[in-house]
Amino acid sequence: MGKIHIEKGSVQETLIIPLYGRKLCAEQFPALYQDPYAAGICESIDYDFTQFKTKEKSGMYQFGALEGAMREKDMLWEIKDYLEKHPNAAVVNLGCGLNMTGRTADNGTCRIYNLDFPDVIQSRNALVPAEEREENIACDLNDFSWMDQIDAGDGAVLYAAGVFHYFTTQQIKKMVVAMAEKFPGGRLVFDAVGKFGRDKLMKGTLKSMGMKDVSGLFCVDEASELEGWSPKVKLTSRKSYMQGYYKLDDPNIKGIHRFLAKLCNSLAKMYIYRMEFTA
């Protein structure tokens, strides 16, 4: 089978950045992060990776890649934790891109659902076709009909990595309330940044996606902002995704990486949030 072409400037190109970051981290920080899929997917893509390769020695670029990779690793921890008590649950990747967290977490009995826009799912189907107990669903997350396609009879753990930043706070609130109604006993895990992180660090990325006014987009400064959304939603965890789950103990981690990780907590307020849905 020939390589899948990704055009520069296309929507599909946005899938390449986090993918290459995970490949880079697996190569440069192997004691901290492993990804059994990223390198193989990159090899299956017809794309000029030169712009990324020239940055690989940059401490700032390495940190950006490390940040995204650690977020995925944290999500994997939460999924596996849920599957210990619900081994046949649905594992639902909201805004999947080309990440393979669900398949990495596969315990042999869970059901895996990868959700994203139709053009993204088209690319995913070409590069990593769904396997047994896995389904790729083309949808708009704001159209809650996707929830009807999830078999959650044995529980559901839903996760969104680097996705909710692109929604408004009201959109996220409506989605969470709907998920709580649809998936009692389920778990939702997502990352968020604070207002400073949104307005200063992510503003350029958001604008490149056509979002000129970022003021209404989802961000969280205090955990209390997520309370009272629904009597069926309980916030049970808030952890730094650079330091809350794992220590940055790979020998290749540099001082600049540790310093920036602290800033992620204190200034950007980059956290992983866990919500449990009660019956």
The separation between CA 212 and the C-alpha centre of its own chain, rounded to angstroms, equals 23
**Mean of all residue pLDDT scores within the chain:** 92
**Distance between CA atoms of 82 and 187, rounded to whole angstroms?**
8
Assigned token pair, 274: 């866990």
On the question of pLDDT at 202 being above 80, the answer is no
218-252 pLDDT tens trace:
999 999 999 999 999 999 999 998 889 999 989 99
Taken in order of first residue, the domains within the chain and their CATH numbers are 66-277 (3.40.50.150)
DSSP H or E stretch at residue 176: helix 169-182
pTM of the model: 0.94
DSSP H or E stretch at residue 102: helix 101-105
User: Mean per-residue pLDDT for 120-131?
Assistant: 94
Q: Are strands 90-94 and 111-116 parallel, antiparallel or unpaired?
A: parallel
224: CB partners within 8 A, 6+ apart: none
